[in-house]
């Protein structure tokens, strides 16, 4: 899906959510669900952990996408703005396109015009706007949903570890 949508500026937030579900959240979901099934717990707890994994994966991928704009190459393991240079629209880029539909460096970049300059301009525009905070708030909402999914599980050390993991995902830097 990501390759098929490369360099397509018409990519919507809903399509982005579907893509990151398929790319990342489904893996987290399957891991949480599989562990729950193998442990032999009640079906309602399996469903809670399945929902937890899905929402945790969504939060994780959004934070990863934000780090492509605000992190350093050392933190994210690739150059800042690398997703844009590969033609991948992430949440911050989608929000930038929505806010600045006319003179937008992503449009120029995706048309092949001075990729390095336009990638740098797009990163700077995102960094100098509320887009990072908005994207982080969306990630935090998915993290909160993950924690809420656990509310009917017993209040034991393992549940608290999952809650802590969810909090870590939204504050991580690499």
Residue 33 and residue 79: Cα distance in Å, rounded? 34
CB 85 within 8 A of CB 169: no
Number of domains comprising the chain: 1
Does this model's pTM top 0.85? My answer is: yes
Could you tell me if residue 158 is inside a domain? yes
What is the model's pLDDT at position 40?
A: 94
Q: Residue 84 belongs to a domain with what CATH number? A: 1.10.600.10
The tokens for 162 are 């999952």
DSSP letter at 42? -
Could you tell me if residue 100 is inside a domain? yes
Distance of alpha carbon 17 from its chain centroid, rounded?
Answer: 8
CB 78 within 8 A of CB 90: no
CB 90 within 8 A of CB 68: yes
What is the model's pLDDT at position 21?
A: 97
Could you tell me if residue 43 is inside a domain? yes
What is the model's pLDDT at position 74?
A: 75
Q: What is the pLDDT along the chain (174 residues), one digit of tens a residue?
A: 677 677 788 889 999 999 999 999 999 999 999 999 999 999 999 999 999 999 999 999 999 999 999 977 777 677 888 999 999 999 999 999 999 988 899 999 999 999 999 999 999 999 999 999 999 999 999 999 999 999 999 999 999 999 999 999 999 865
What is the model's pLDDT at position 80?
A: 85
DSSP letter at 7? T
What is the model's pLDDT at position 152?
A: 94
Could you tell me if residue 3 is inside a domain? no
Residue 2 and residue 6: Cα distance in Å, rounded? 6
Could you tell me if residue 6 is inside a domain? no
Q: Count Cβ atoms below 10 Å from residue 27 Cβ, excluding itself.
A: 16
Could you tell me if residue 105 is inside a domain? yes
Tell me which residue range forms the domain holding 51. 13-171
What is the model's pLDDT at position 174?
A: 53
Closest CA to 14 of 68, 94, 80: 94
Among the residues of 40-130, which ranges form H helices? 43-70, 73-76, 82-85, 91-99, 105-110, 115-127
What is the model's pLDDT at position 83?
A: 92
């Amino acid at each position: 899906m990501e390759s098929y949508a490369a360099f397509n500026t018409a990519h919507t937030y809903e399509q982005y959510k579907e893509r990151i579900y398929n790319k990342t959240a489904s893996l987290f979901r399957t891991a949480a669900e599989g562990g729950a099934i193998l442990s032999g717990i009640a079906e309602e707890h399996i469903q809670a952990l399945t929902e937890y994994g899905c929402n945790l994966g969504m939060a994780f991928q959004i934070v990863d996408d934000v780090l492509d704009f605000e992190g350093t190459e050392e933190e994210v393991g690739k150059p800042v703005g690398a997703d844009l240079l590969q033609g991948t629209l992430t949440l911050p880029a989608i929000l930038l396109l929505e806010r600045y539909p006319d003179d937008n460096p992503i449009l120029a970049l995706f048309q092949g015009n001075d990729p390095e300059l336009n990638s740098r301009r797009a990163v700077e525009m995102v960094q100098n706007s509320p887009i990072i905070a908005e994207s982080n708030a969306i990630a935090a909402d998915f993290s909160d949903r993950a924690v809420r999914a656990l509310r009917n599980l017993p209040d034991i050390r393992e549940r608290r570890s999952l809650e802590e993991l969810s909090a870590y995902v939204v504050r991580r830097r690499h």
